Structure 1
C-alpha cells in the first residue's frame, strides 16, 4: 500500500509540475478545438496497434504450450489493457495475464512469465528502433550533432543485439524472431500513427517529426514503474524535451493527454469481458 501511495504521489507531483509550467487554458483550448475525424482515426490506429500486439503475444504463448483461441487471447489482452490503465508503470496488466493463465491452464507460471516478459521486451526494442529513426531527422540532430553518430550506431546495433539476446537467453522464441520483430515494428508504427493523427487533430502543420520522436521516447518512460498507468511520466518527458528545442510544450502535453484519453476509452471494454477456462491442447501443455 505504501508503494502504491508513493506512485500516486509521484504521478500527481509530475502532473502538477508540468501543468504549473504551462498554460492550462491554452491546453484546454487546443484540445477543445480538435478535429473529431482525426481523433477517430487515432482511435482506430491505437486499437490496430493493440490487435497487432495481441497477435504477437499469442505467438509467444503458443511457443510455451498455451494454445489459446484468437478471441480468448484478445479478450485477455483487453482485460490486461484495463488493468494497465490503473496500475503502476503500465505493466500491471501483464501480471494479471500471468495470474489468469496460470490459474486456468496447466502451465508453469515461469513459462507464462517468460512469454509475457519477452513480448514486452520486443516492444521496447521496436520503440528504441523507431525512436532513433525519428530522432535522426528531428531538431535534436541539429541541436546535438555530436550525438548523431551514437544514434546511428544504436540504430544499426539494436536488432543484432536483440538477436544475440534472443539466441542465448530466450532460445525457445528464436524461431519467432523475424516475424515478431516485424510485428513489433508494426505495433509501434501504428502507435506513432496514432500520435500523428492526434497532432493533425490538434495543430496540423506543426513539427511532426519532433513531436513523434519525443512521443516514442516518452512511451519508454511510461513503462518505468514510478507512476500510475504511466500518467505524468509522458507529460514530463514532453515538457522538458520540447523546451530543449524551443517548441510549444503545451501542444506536446495536449497530445499526451489526448493519447491517454484514447487509451482509457479503448481500455474500458476490457472490464465488460469475462475470462473463462479454455483448455490448451494436451500435447502442447505437456511440452510446457
Structure 2
C-alpha cells in the first residue's frame, strides 16, 4: 500500500511538473498555439503526420534489428505494433520510459523465454538512439564551428557534447570488445556487484550486439534517418508558423539536444521538458528570444500522440491485455 502511494505521488508530481512548465510558457507568451494553424490544412497535416509515421517506423526498425541480432525472429509489422503501443504509453504513463516497459513486456508474452532479450534490446535501443543524437549534434556543431566559437555558451556545450561522445565510445567499446570479454576483467568486476548474476546476464546479452559491425552501423543509420524525419517535421512546423529566418542547420543542431532532454523520464513523453529545452536551445543558438522552439516541438508531440492512438487501438485489441499499472509494478 505504501509502495503504491509513493508511486502515485511521484506520478502526480511528474504530471504537475509538466503542466506547470506548459502553463508558464503559455502565460509568458513563449508558446503560441495560434502559430500552428497553418499546419491544420489537409496537405500540411498529411505531410506532417507522414513524417511522424516515418520517424516511428525507422525507430521501430532499429529495435527490430537489435532483436534479430540476438538470433530471434522479429517481423516488421509485429514489432511496429508493439512500438506504437509503447509510444502511446509514453503519453499515458508518467515518464518517458513507460512505453519501453510495456513493449518489452508484450514482446516477452509473444516470445516466451525472451525476457533477457526484451530487456537488453530495449535498453540498447535507448542507448544507441541517444548515441546517434550525440553524434549528429557533434557533427553539426563542428560543421558550424565558426558560429559556435563566437558564443561562449555554445562552445561550452560543444565540449560537453564531445565529452559525451567520448564517454559513449569508451563504454560501448568495453561492452562490445571481444578482448575485454575473453580477458574476464569486466566479469570479475561485475561479480563483485550486488545482484551480480542479473548484471552478468545483462552484460553477456549486450555484448552480443557488437559482434556484427554491419548490423551495428545499420542501427546507427536507422537512428539518424529517424531523427532526420523528426527534424524535417520541426523545420516544416517552424517554417509554416512563420519562422522563416531560421536555417535548416539550426534545427539539425538544436533537435538532437532537445530530444535528449525529452528522454529524461521526468514528465509524460517529455511534454513540458521538451518545450523548455527547445526554447532555451533555439534562443541560445539564434541569439534572440523566439517562440519557435516550444511551438515546433509542441506540434511534433501532438503529431506523435495522434499516431500513438493506433497503439492504443492495438493494445485494446490484445486478448492478453494486462493493466499497465500491473506491468509497471512487476
What is the TM-score normalised by the length of structure 2?
0.74
* Superposition CA RMSD, Å: 2.7
CA distance in 1, matches of 2:170, 2:34: 45
1:143 aligns with 2:154: no
**Contact conserved, 1:90 with 1:225, CA < 8 A, in 2?**
yes
1:61-76 aligned within 5 A? 61-76=67-82
* Higher RCO (C-alpha under 8 Å, 6+ residues apart): 1
Aligned-partner Cα distance in 2 for 1:165–1:122: 15
Cα displacement string for residues 227-272 of structure 1 (whole angstroms, at most 9, x for unaligned residues): 1121000111122333445334322211121111111111111112
Match of 1:195 in 2: 234
What is the distance in 2 between the residues matched to 1:251 and 1:155? 27
Listed as ranges, the gaps of 5+ residues in structure 2 are 1-7, 178-202, 321-330
Q: Structure 1: which 5+ runs fail to align?
A: 278-288
Q: Residue 94 of structure 1: which of 85, 96, 100 is its match? A: 100
1:229 aligned counterpart, secondary structure: helix
Aligned length: 275
The answer as to 2:259 corresponding to 1:219 is: yes
State yes or no: 1:171 paired with 2:207: yes
Listed as ranges, the matches of 1:1-288 within 5 Å are 1-22=8-29, 27-34=32-39, 36=41, 37-136=43-142, 137=144, 140-144=148-152, 146-147=155-156, 150=159, 153=162, 157=166, 160-161=169-170, 163-168=172-177, 169=203, 170-174=206-210, 175=212, 176-203=215-242, 205-208=244-247, 209-244=249-284, 245-273=286-314, 274-275=317-318
In structure 2, how many angstroms separate the alpha carbons of the residues matched to 1:86 and 1:107? 28
Looking at structure 2, the residues matched to 222 and 55 of structure 1 have their Cα atoms a distance apart, in angstroms, of: 21
State the alpha-carbon separation in 2 of the partners of residues 230 and 152 from structure 1: 20
Taking structure 1 as the reference length, the TM-score comes to 0.84
1:82 & 1:148 partners in 2: Cα distance? Answer: 32
